[in-house]
Amino acid sequence: MKIYVDDVMPYATEFFRDLGEVVPFSGRKVEPGQLDDADILLVRSVTKVNSALLAGNQRLKFVGTATIGTDHLDTNYLKARGIPFSNAPGCNAQSVVEYVLSCLFLLSEIRQQPMQSWTVGVVGVGQIGRRLVKALTALEVKVLQCDQPRAAAEPDFLHLPFAELSQQVDVLCLHVPLVRDGEHATYHLLNETALQALPSHVAIINACRGEVIDNRVLLKHQQQMPRDLFLDTWEGEPAILQELVPHCHIATAHIAGHSIEGKARGTEMLYQMVCQLLGKTPQWQLADFCPSPIMENLQISADFRLSDVQNLCRMLYDVRRDDALFRFYLATRGFDWLRKTYPPRREFASLQLSGHAIPDFLVQLGFKRQQ
């Protein structure tokens, strides 16, 4: 059995080598015909899985994407052919939340305002949005939520329509899936009309899909009336609108979810699904391959306060590192190089905290109490 895996999917060989022949391929550059002998196909968000790519394959048993989203999969085509498929829901949610928190810490410094003085609007309250709401609530930040599909399905869900929410917040955090049409379309959610109506003091953090914002319209608005802007995702990746970069406080290469755990957890989840499909018992788990963190233990004194959280979080991750790499290498090495060579980054849970009184808000952020 041949198992084709995106060559940047961590630990794919280690997880899948007992199930068949593991064949790495370039997810961005894969060509029709290249996958004709694949029994299992495992991709990331850069690969468009559709009829053009799979027309010559008559043996495919499963398609998996090691990401939360599925907008790069032609699910109707896969269903019509009877090919099972799955994403990896929640695999990198914690990583994205930590990215957003790092942006918010920086914004607090830029504005010289405590986060607790803001209202943050979370648009899209799925796997990532839920965790972000939990983290912000732990930090005593007021949160408003917008998620039309959840509001339709859950009568008790506290939801504000986007147009209403956007008038009441200081920061807009986007975490919606990319839906191009229909009742709950998110393509160009921030278009000319929406950006014109958005108060100038509202900061934007986009860590979902680039096409949720009309980037050319955003550039025009930034040139006329700049707002605080943090972009991890861009229209047209990898050929992004580079003129927009200087207008961002933080600009990064779609790496918000690229912690070691975030990427590897997606591989692990697909491994478990393939084992289930084949009727085999999983033999491996993430802990078998994930390296020991550089910092494993930290003692917290009884004087640790909410105001100290920023310094603790920055010990593990500071988004300014990724912004500096992006600005330095984008023009010479390119967007995909930045993603493929992304330096190691660990999540909060990799650091065990000890002390007589570990505040509950640190646990809510993702840190672990030492056992």
- Per-residue model confidence as pLDDT tens digits over 282-309: 999 999 999 999 999 999 998 999 999 9
The H-or-E segment that residue 206 falls in is strand 203-206
- Per-residue model confidence as pLDDT tens digits over 99-150: 999 999 999 999 999 999 999 999 999 999 999 999 999 999 999 999 999 9
- Per-residue model confidence as pLDDT tens digits over 167-217: 999 999 999 999 999 999 999 999 999 999 999 999 999 999 999 999 999
The H-or-E segment that residue 13 falls in is helix 12-16
pTM value?
0.93
Catalytic residues: 209, 237, 254
* pLDDT for 129: 97
* pLDDT for 69: 81
* pLDDT for 118: 98
* pLDDT for 368: 93
Fold of 2-87: Rossmann fold (3.40.50)
Q: Which of 167, 173, 230, 171 is nearest to 202 (CA)?
A: 171
DSSP string, 252-311: -SS-TT-SHHHHHHHHHHHHHHHHHHHT------GGGTSPPPS--EEEPPTT--GGGHHH
Q: Which of 345, 365, 336, 337 is nearest to 262 (CA)?
A: 345
Mean pLDDT (the chain) is: 95
Mean local confidence (pLDDT), 238-260: 97
Mean local confidence (pLDDT), 44-66: 95
The ranges assigned to domains in the chain are 2-87, 93-251, 297-369
Same fold across 2-87 and 93-251: yes
% pLDDT > 70, the chain = 100
The CA distance from 100 to 256, in Å, is: 8
* pLDDT for 31: 93
Q: Which CATH class is domain 297-369?
A: alpha beta
* pLDDT for 371: 73
- Per-residue model confidence as pLDDT tens digits over 320-354: 999 999 999 999 999 999 999 999 999 999 999 99
* pLDDT for 11: 95
Distant-in-sequence, close-in-space partners of 337: CB < 8 Å, separation ≥ 6: 329
Say which CATH superfamily domain 93-251 falls into: NAD(P)-binding Rossmann-like Domain (3.40.50.720)
- Per-residue model confidence as pLDDT tens digits over 7-45: 999 999 999 999 999 999 999 899 999 999 999 999 998
What pairing do the DSSP bridges indicate for beta strands 203-206 and 229-231? parallel
